[in-house]
């Protein structure tokens, strides 16, 4: 046996020891943090990728005040479960530091989608600074869950083609200049208002001042998809009273806009007169569609 073969054999043995996890073997794994979008609440609304990330994690961090405990059914029996509801950021950071030292996988579960009001960016920056591998898994947002429960499309042709996601100013997080609710309300399109139910009077006033008529339909969703979900319909003029009557001040989303009550209008995309790379247009339907568009423009 030559020296090169002996060296290769020794290296293979060493790698086998590390792979088998024998005591005293150096840990060559890279620490990883996965930010998991838990969706609006129901555990079966997790994506397959999110469920797999939780199952793979050595440490699962979740906030009992925001995320339904059913999502923990995907965690391994030997995983360390940490409730972050009472922890500041400084209480979570040590787990990321452990991930570096021990080469473990931490799953940080966020309600809804991590891209929306999840305080993810500051955590991501810390993880990058620590040299951790990072992954972000999107989740179903409560605004789309609420629309699904109410069986409404938020972007109905010729009624609303935009959805504004925002929150009321004056809370714990200051709003940048020009992002006040009354300013967004001037667009008159569909709006989803997060983290605003506690100041229902101010919310109703700013929406009215922005130009929504008092009879504009609203949808109030409390803990959408949770076992105790509550979804209510009212008009803008009734919004404050509705929120106060049901004592809704947290875990509550408000949708507003004409799309919440409008009937469906014909989509040109599925019109027989419309063509694209996979479908030819019917000639007669094409002429009718052109005439319809010209009539709308004049």
DSSP designation for 31: P
Tally Cβ neighbours within 10 Å of residue 89.
Answer: 11
> What pLDDT does 190 receive?
98
> What pLDDT does 21 receive?
43
196-253 pLDDT per residue, tens? 999 999 999 999 999 999 999 999 999 999 999 999 999 999 999 999 999 999 999 9
> What pLDDT does 174 receive?
83
Tally Cβ neighbours within 10 Å of residue 208.
Answer: 17
> What pLDDT does 266 receive?
60
> What pLDDT does 23 receive?
45
Helix 89-102 with 120-130: angle, nearest 10 deg: 30
Q: How far is CA 219 from CA 37, 43, 109, 172, 189, in A?
A: 23, 23, 27, 24, 14
Burial category of 148 from C-beta neighbours within 10 Å (exposed 0-12, middle 13-18, buried 19 and up): middle
Q: How far is CA 253 from CA 121, 157, 215, 250, in A?
A: 23, 24, 19, 8
Strands 105-110 and 32-37: parallel
Tally Cβ neighbours within 10 Å of residue 1.
Answer: 6
- Spans of the chain below 70 pLDDT: 1-29, 264-271, 273-278, 282, 289, 292-293, 295-298
Does residue 233 contact residue 265 with C-beta atoms inside 8 Å? no
């Amino acid at each position: 046996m030559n020296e090169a073969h002996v060296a290769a054999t020794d290296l293979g043995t060493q790698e086998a020891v590390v792979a088998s996890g024998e005591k005293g073997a150096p840990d060559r794994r890279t620490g990883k943090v996965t930010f998991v979008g838990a969706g609006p609440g129901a555990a079966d609304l997790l994506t397959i990728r999110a469920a797999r990330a939780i199952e793979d994690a050595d440490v699962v961090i979740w906030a009992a005040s925001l995320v339904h405990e059913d999502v923990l059914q995907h965690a391994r029996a030997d995983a360390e479960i940490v409730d972050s509801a009472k922890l500041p950021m400084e209480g979570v950071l040590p787990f990321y530091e452990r991930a570096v030292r021990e080469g473990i996988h931490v799953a940080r579960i966020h309600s809804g989608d991590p891209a929306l009001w999840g305080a993810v960016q500051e955590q991501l920056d810390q993880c990058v600074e620590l040299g951790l591998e990072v992954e972000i898994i999107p989740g179903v947002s409560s605004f789309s869950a609420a629309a699904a429960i109410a069986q409404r499309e938020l972007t109905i042709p010729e009624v609303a083609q935009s959805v504004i996601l925002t929150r009321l100013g004056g809370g714990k997080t200051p709003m940048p200049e020009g992002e006040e609710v009354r300013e967004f309300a001037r667009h008159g399109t569909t709006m989803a208002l997060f983290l605003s139910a506690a100041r229902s009077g101010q919310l109703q006033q700013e929406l009215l001042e922005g130009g929504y008529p008092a009879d504009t339909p609203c949808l109030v969703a409390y803990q959408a998809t949770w076992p105790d979900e509550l979804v209510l319909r009212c008009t803008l003029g009734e919004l404050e009273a509705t929120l106060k009557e049901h004592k809704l001040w947290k875990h509550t989303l408000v949708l507003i806009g004409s799309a919440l009550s409008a009937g469906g209008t014909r989509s040109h995309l599925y019109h027989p007169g419309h063509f694209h790379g996979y479908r030819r247009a019917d000639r007669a339907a094409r002429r009718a569609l052109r005439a319809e568009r010209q009539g709308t423009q004049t």
